[in-house]
Amino acid sequence: MLTHHDVTVRVRYAETDQMGVVYHSNYLIWFEVGRVELMRALGFDYKLMETKDDTFIVVADVHCRYHHPARYDELLTVRTSILEAKNRTLKFGYELLRQSDSKLLATGHTIHVACDRAGHVKHFPDKYKQAFLKLVVPNDSRSHA
């Protein structure tokens, strides 16, 4: 059973500062890459979720804890899981690991609200909610901050 999804990203020069260290906001972009790829692994195309089901997953809250810096040209793993799934909200958890030594570089989570195209809060369609619930990581086995 799928409990998380891993995706590889390579740190690009444009994502770093003059010292070759990744600028903090890029971690949030990688979190997005992780959640989009997790959705794809579940068999959902986020674009179709928006166009066919009028369901948008709006970011309501973001948290990122930086443990160690990521640097230019490193290969990183973005590990994404679902920490909580409710009728209208979804909480994703993230771990960012350096592939060369598996060092944990950052942890975080995002909370999302289901909305329609007009921005009104709505319930997740059942097909999504059921898939999300199957992936929820139990509290006692979480390693996310």
- Complete domains list, the chain, with CATH: 5-137 (3.10.129.10)
CB 71 within 8 Å of CB 21: yes
Give the separation between CA 53 and CA 37, rounded to whole angstroms: 19
Q: Which pLDDT does position 140 carry in this prediction? A: 53
Examine the pLDDT at 61 and tell me if it is beyond 80.
yes
Model pLDDT for residues 30-49, shown as the tens digit of each residue = 999 999 999 999 999 889 99
Confidence at 52, pLDDT banded by 50, 70, 90: very high
CA atoms 107, 113, 116, 117: torsion sign: negative
Query: Residue 95: which H helix or E strand, with range?
Result: strand 89-98
Phi, psi of 141 (to 5 degrees): -110, 10
Closest among 67, 72, 57 to 111, alpha carbons compared: 57
Residue located via tokens 């992936």: 135
Residue located via tokens 């990521």: 70
Mean pLDDT over each residue of the chain, to the nearest integer:
93
Does the model's pTM come out above 0.85? yes
Model pLDDT for residues 81-99, shown as the tens digit of each residue = 999 999 999 999 999 999 9
Q: Which pLDDT does position 1 carry in this prediction? A: 66
Active-site residues: which are they?
Answer: 17
